[in-house]
Structures are given as structure tokens and as C-alpha cells.
Structure 1
């Protein structure tokens, strides 16, 4: 299993890299098909956010849905521990769900909605890499500042496959988001599922269909 560690607006010391590799060794036990774990370390320079200045994001890419977790703390070692606890819980949940499907003779269709970012572990990370000027391929991302304000808007292009609402809810839980954008397999419309109170969820659909997508009910 490959572990790729990158720094965003920060350097990643060899000591922390070795620590990450040791900590992530147990991922392969919960996800035997995992081919790669992406680790992104981000440093926030704003003094007002000193308590959460170090953010660690973990993304497991395997034969199945992408599973992700992130956390922030005042140091990256603590952020890693919190993110790893979240990731471990989601890996167990995904493993148990696969077992339930096999027992019920169900079919689990893996859907990878996050792009495979081609980042080499050997590349120097001292300087942040320039962002693409346009969003042409899945994985491209751009950042822009809103006028003279401190607001920064980040845009990223993702690959998407049509899926059911149930699959979208599962994907949202596995990546730890409060919302999830997808193409509804039954209606061929762009949609978003979002978390409400407790264990309830909401779904919003747009009134136009995605070009080239066909509703399942219309297929023969």
C-alpha cells in the first residue's frame, strides 16, 4: 500500500512522515484492497486559528468507495491521531456494510467520486505547487480571493457517476461531509444530499437533466 504525504503551504519533516507511515500501517488490516493513502497536511497562518492551525486529511483509495477523514488541532501529530480515529471508524463501517451485502446477496457497486491526484511522494514539498488556472480535468483546483476581502474561494473539479440516493448518503458518511453532490441515477438530474437533525437527511434536485445521462426508468 502506497502512502503519499504532501504539504499545502507548509513543509513536512521526515520525522512526521515516518510517524504517519507507522500510524497508517493498520489501514491495510481494515481495507485489504487499499492501494494508496493520500495524506495532506495544511498549516493555517491566521493567529486567531492557532488552536486548529494544523489540519490533516486522510484519503484511502481502494477497490470500492473512497473513504476520507480530516481533523484540525494545534499540532499536526494531534490532528493525525484524531483524523485516524475517524478514518478507522469509517473503514470498519464500510467493511461491515460489505459483509451485510454478502449475507443478503446484495450487490455493492463501488463509486469513486473523488479524482486520483497524480502526486509523487518524491517531489519536494518545500514550496506549494502552482494551482491550475482552469478546471479542465478531475482533480484540478483553483483558489481566488474575493476582491479585497480576506475571503478565499476554492473550486475543485470532481468526477461523478450516477448513483442512487442511498449510495449518495453512504458516500457522504464515508467522506465525513455534511452534504454530497451527485447525479441521481433514477432521474438523471444533478442533486445534493445533506445532513439534517439526528439521523435524517434531505435531498435537493435541480429541474434540468445532466447531458448524456438517462434515467434508469427510461432504459430498456
Structure 2
């Protein structure tokens, strides 16, 4: 299993890389088909966020669905521990779901990666740069403002609402963009209060031209 550690706005020391490898050894036990784990470490320079200045995101890529977890703390070792606890719980749930699928006739998991919220229908900036390859991430500044937009491109395949909710839980997001296999419509599943969810779909076949208005005397 390949482990790739990258830092955003920070350097990652060899000591931490070795610690990551030791912690992620458990992933192979929970997900034997895991091929790669991406570890992204982000440092927040804002002193008002010192309690969560170190963020660690773990992404497990296997033959089944992508499983992701992230956490923040005042140091990256603590953030890694918190993220690993979340990841282990999601991997166990994925393993239990696979076991349940073997005992029942269900559709196998679909390899679909969720979109980053900043990529949805965002117009490309004047200077390159929208991502062109799946998994590629591009950051651009909005004009002269301090606003930074991070775009990421993912592949997608049609899936059921049930699978979309499952994928959403596996990456720990409050929403999930997907293509509904029954309607072929772009849709988004989102978390509501308690254990309720919502789904919004787009009708791309509608005629969006402004209808003519017939005047009457």
C-alpha cells in the first residue's frame, strides 16, 4: 500500500512521515484492497485559530468507494490521531457493508469521488487554470481580492440515492454531488436534521428560453 504525504503551506518533517506510516499500518487490516493513502497536512497561520492550526486529511483509495477523514488540532500529531479514529470507524462501516452485500443481492460499491464545493459550475479564471485531470487541484485568486478558490476535478459514474448517501457518509461531508442512475440527472444529496436527508436534482432537459407572453385586450 502506497502512502503519499504532502504539505500545504508547510513542510513535513521525516519524523512525522515515519509516524504517519506507523499509524496507517492499521488501514491495511481494515481495508485489504487499499492501494494508496493520501495524507494532506495543512498549517493555518492565523493566530486566532491556534487551537486548530494543524489539519490532517486522510484519503484511502481502494477498489471500492473512496473513504476520507480529516481533523484539526493545535499540533499535527494530535490531528493525525483524531483523523485516524474517524477513518478507522468509516473503514469498519465500509467493511461491514461489504459483508452485508455478500449475504444479499445488492449493487456493488461504485468508485465515485465527491466534488469539491468550489468546482460546481464555477467559471474558469482568466489565467489557467481549471483542473483538467481527475484528482488534480488548482488554486487561484479571485481578482485582486484575498479570496482563494480551490478547484478539484473528480470522475463520476451514475449511482442510486442509497449509494450516494453511503458515499457521503464515507467521506464525512454534509453533501454529495452525483448523477442519479434512475433519472440521469445531476443531483445533490445533503444532510438535514437528525437522520433525515434531502436530495435536489437538476432537470437539464428543460427549455430555459423565456416564454412569450400573449397580450389580450
Normalised to the residue count of structure 1, the TM-score between the two structures is 0.83
Q: Find runs of 4+ consecutive structure 1 residues off by over 6 angstroms.
A: none
Q: C-alpha root-mean-square deviation of aligned residues, in Å? A: 1.8
The Cα shift of 1:148 comes to 4.6
Q: Structure 2: any 5+ residue segments left out of the alignment?
A: 116-127, 206-217
Normalised to the residue count of structure 2, the TM-score between the two structures is 0.84
**Which residue number corresponds to residue 192 of structure 2?**
196
Equivalent pairs, count? 194
1:163 aligns with 2:156: no
Q: Residues 96-119 of structure 1: CA distance to partner in whole angstroms, max 9, x if unpaired?
A: 01111111233323323269xxxx
1:100 aligns with 2:103: no
Measured in 2, the distance between the counterparts of 1:138 and 1:57 equals 18
Contact 1:113 1:161 in 2 (8 A): no
Measured in 2, the distance between the counterparts of 1:39 and 1:58 equals 5
Contact 2:129 2:140 in 1 (8 A): no
Match 1:178 to one of 162, 167, 174: 174
Contact 2:191 2:198 in 1 (8 A): yes
Q: Structure 1: any 5+ residue segments left out of the alignment?
A: 116-131, 210-220
Contact 1:194 1:203 in 2 (8 A): yes
Measured in 2, the distance between the counterparts of 1:83 and 1:141 equals 21
Q: Which has the higher contact order (CA 8 A, sep 6+)?
A: 1
Contact 1:40 1:56 in 2 (8 A): yes
**Which residue number corresponds to residue 218 of structure 1?**
none
Which structure has the larger Rg? 2
